[in-house]
Amino acid sequence: MKKKVKAEYNYGMSDFKLFWEEAVKVLYSEYENQNRADEFNLWINAIDYVDSHDSVVFVSVPSTFFKEQLIRRGDITKLQSIIYNLSGQNIKFEFKIKPKDSNPSSSKNNNRNQPIIETPDKKDGPVVVPNKNKDKQHPQLSERYSFANFVYGDNSVFAYNAALAVAKNPGKAYNPVLLYGGVGLGKTHLMQAIGNYAWKESNAKIIYITAENFTNEFIKALGQGQTAISKFKDKYRSVDILLIDDIHFLQKKDGTQEELFHTFNALYDSNKQIVFTCDRPVSELKNLSDRLRSRFERGLNVDLQPPDYETRRAIVEKKLEENKKSLSPEIIDFIAHNIASNVRDLEAAIVKIVAYNELINKKDISIETAGQLLRDVISSPKQSNLSIDTIIKVIAEEYGLSSSDVKGKKRTKNVIMPRQIAMYIAREITEFSTTEIGAEFGRDHTTVVHSCQKIEEAIQADSKFDSKIQLLIRKVKDYKKSI
């Protein structure tokens, strides 16, 4: 009897579609209660239910990276536990990767490869907007930055989607938006793509300016007296979309920070769109007023990471196609393999090789020649940098530990401090970002930031500790020389 009930029960439970749908709703309300609906749209909305067998639920996600992030964020465990509460069954998730399509066009966001962001409709806007900008270029924006020619990969798909959502629904989708990441990764490109798109599609008043020019303009106005200052304030407070590039420049610029804070509030309160870019997470900016920092962090913060090999290849191919140039597959491969730092360097490499090809009038340049031409870029300071592994090795030796102790998950006192020191030194003497350093330790960037703070505090409090760190840094550098 008992057996039969169990069999029926299992049979009834083998399709988890309804439970899945319910669980997603429950999770949505959790996110919404915490004012994190944006995040829900980026992450959870991109998971598709596929099927279920016994207690395995098959879902599809845009990429392996995406899957790992979902797990890391705890969303998967949460969904499992909600489904358990609803169905009484402990389910397991199996992930399938959605097939990759080609890049979407600038006007449609129907790509299966991408998480589709549901953005609010422009219900309260005018139905037909006579478009005065269709054939004119915005004076501060460059036409070459569009969504159509931005090649995204796992490293940039969220930033791309967030930017597109903002361009389609300024002031309504996500506000403010902060795009951050290292040099040459496409921050300015995406920011200007937002501007270009909104400019063509609406009559929005848009200003694009670098934080540096914003500062200069403000200082100039201050020197010219009250009328100029009022004019400056009015100009920036009366736009529909304000795009400010490279806000890391504002560090230590107290007066400009104050002015931007008020500009921000005025725009934000009237639902005008604000977008910023920065070369690092806001938490890592120094000499920034707390209230401005909290404004930057208020909305959606998305990072751009360096592209992986596949994406780099796609970028090289796209750039060649745009410029109606061609290179042999081997050379394309060579560039994509060797220029890993950022897209700006990739572009420079292509220009150099194409120019050589045309000037010397050879059809197919050899790998050797390509290597010589790109020598400066390939052995850039960033790439000849000390590896984090070397740092870990030196610290491990110093404290009588193994490298895997320093990198590992153990939380005993004797490993925590050396681990924090290793992260701190990596941050001090290499060009790696906190995200990259964190990855070496199987942790995220917040742990690295926290560790660096701890060590900085200890250095401040104890000059002996300071000398110890300096000594370790020397050892790391000498280690490099001796091998």
List interacting residues with ligand ADP (CB under 6 A).
149-152, 156, 183-189, 315, 343-344, 347
Report the residue number, 59 or 164, with the smaller CB distance to ligand ADP.
164
Give the range of 185-193, 231-239, 263-271, 346-354 binding Mg ion by CB under 5 A: 185-193
3-state secondary structure of 254: helix
* Residue 321 φ then ψ, to 5°: -60, -45
Q: Which is nearer to ligand ADP, 172 or 187 (CB)?
A: 187
CB 329 within 8 A of CB 176: no
The entry of ligand ADP, Mg ion, none near residue 466 (CB within 5 to 8 angstroms by kind) is none
Nearest position to Mg ion, beta carbon: 188
Strands (E) located in 195-332: 206-210, 241-245, 273-278, 300-303
Q: In this complex, which beta carbon is closest to Mg ion, that of residue 104 or of residue 186?
A: 186
* Minimal distance, residue 245 CB to Mg ion, in Å: 6
Tokens of 90: 């402990």
Residues linked to residue 56 through DSSP beta bridges, in sequence order: 53, 92
CB of 74 to Mg ion, least distance (A): 33
Residue number, 100 or 468, with CB nearest to ligand ADP? 100
Shortest distance, position 191 Cβ to Mg ion, whole Å: 8
The residue among 152 and 174 lying less far from ligand ADP, judged by its C-beta, is: 152
**Residue in this structure with the two tokens 């042999």, named with its chain if needed:** 328
Check: CB of residue 196 under 8 Å from CB of residue 233.
no
Question: Which one, 160 or 334, has the nearer CB to ligand ADP?
Answer: 160
Question: Smallest gap, in angstroms, from Cβ of residue 306 to ligand ADP?
Answer: 10
Q: Is 453 left (phi over 0), alpha (psi -120 to 50) or beta?
A: alpha
Q: Which helix (H) or strand (E) holds 44?
A: none
Least distance (Å) from ligand ADP to the CB of residue 279?
Answer: 8
Q: Could you tell me how far CA 25 lies from the centroid of its own chain? A: 27
Q: How far is the CB of 330 from ligand ADP (least distance, A)?
A: 22
Nearest distance from C-beta of residue 152 to ligand ADP, angstroms: 6
The smaller minimum CB distance to ligand ADP, of residues 259 and 284, is found at 284
Residue 150 binding: pick among ligand ADP, Mg ion, none (C-beta 5-8 Å cut-off by kind): ligand ADP
Chain centre to alpha carbon of residue 190: 11
Which of these ranges, 162-170, 181-189, 255-263, 461-469, lies near Mg ion under the rule CB under 5 A? 181-189
Closest CB 83 distance from ligand ADP, rounded Å: 37
Strands 48-53 and 56-61 come out as antiparallel
Query: Whole-angstrom Cα distance, residue 350 to residue 328?
Result: 12
Q: Determine the longest span between alpha carbons in the chain, in angstroms.
A: 91
Residue 156 binding: pick among Mg ion, ligand ADP, none (C-beta 5-8 Å cut-off by kind): ligand ADP
Give 301's DSSP letter. E
Q: Among Mg ion, ligand ADP, none, what does residue 452 contact (CB within 5–8 Å per kind)?
A: none
Q: C-beta of 182: minimal distance to ligand ADP in Å?
A: 7
> Which of the choices Mg ion, ligand ADP, none does residue 436 contact, using the CB cut-off of 5 to 8 A by kind?
none
Q: Nearest to residue 72, comparing CAs of 453, 422, 424, 446?
A: 446
* E strands, 239-398, in order: 241-245, 273-278, 300-303
Q: How many residues bind Mg ion (CB under 5 A)?
A: 2
Residue 207 or 401 having the CB closest to ligand ADP: 207
Q: How far is the CB of 247 from Mg ion (least distance, A)?
A: 11
Cβ proximity to Mg ion: between 187 and 319 the closer is 187
Q: Which does 380 bind (CB under 5 to 8 A by kind): Mg ion, ligand ADP, none?
A: none
Q: Nearer to ligand ADP by C-beta: 332 or 425?
A: 332
| Strands of 101-235, DSSP E | 177-180, 206-210
Stretch that binds Mg ion, among 2-10, 174-182, 183-191, 393-401 (CB under 5 A): 183-191
Half-sphere exposure of 133 (CA within 13 A, CB side): 17
Q: Which of 41, 103, 161, 188 binds Mg ion (CB under 5 A)?
A: 188
Q: How far is the CB of 178 from ligand ADP (least distance, A)?
A: 13
Name which of ligand ADP, Mg ion, none residue 347 binds, using a CB cut-off of 5 to 8 Å depending on partner kind: ligand ADP
* Rounded alpha-carbon distances, angstroms, from residue 161 to 177, 179, 264, 435: 12, 12, 23, 21
19 in Cβ contact with 65 (< 8 Å): no
When CB distances to ligand ADP are compared, the closest residue is 186
Buried residues in 60-76 as b, exposed as e (16+ CB within 10 A): bbbbebbbeebeeeebb
Estimate the crossing angle of helix 413-429 against helix 388-398, to 10 degrees.
140
Residue entry with tokens 């360096």: 306
Binding site partner of 189, from ligand ADP, Mg ion, none, Cβ cut-off 5-8 A by kind: ligand ADP
- Cβ proximity of 116 and 130 under 8 Å: no
β-pairing verdict for 56-61 and 241-245: unpaired
- Decide whether 347 or 436 has the Cβ nearer to ligand ADP: 347
87 binds, among ligand ADP, Mg ion, none (CB under 5 to 8 A by kind): none
Q: CB of 79: closest distance to ligand ADP in angstroms?
A: 31
What tokens appear for 109 in the block?
A: 């966001």
Binding stretches for Mg ion (CB under 5 A):
187-188
